[in-house]
Amino acid sequence: DIQMTQSPSTLSASVGDRVTITCRASQSIDFWLAWYQQKPGKAPKLLVYEASKLESGVPSRFSGSKSGTEFTLTITSLQPDDFATYYCQHYSGYLWSFGQGTKVETK
Partner 1 sequence: QVQLVQSGAEVKKPGASVKVSCKASGYTFASYGITWVRQAPGQGLEWMGWISAYNGNTNYAPRLQGRVTMTTDTSTSTAYMELRSLRSDDTAVYYCARGSGDFHFWGQGTMVTVSS
Interaction site with partner 1 (CB under 8 A) = 1, 32, 34, 36, 38, 43-46, 49-50, 55, 87, 89, 91, 94-101
> Toward partner 1, which CB reaches closer, 17 or 22?
22
Determine contact, residues 6/101, Cβ cutoff 8 Å. yes
Quote the least distance from Cβ 49 to partner 1, whole Å. 4
The number of angstroms, rounded, from the C-alpha of 44 to the middle of its chain's C-alpha atoms is: 11
Q: What's the CA gap between 42 and 47, in Å, rounded?
A: 15
Residue number with CB closer to partner 1 (17 or 32):
32
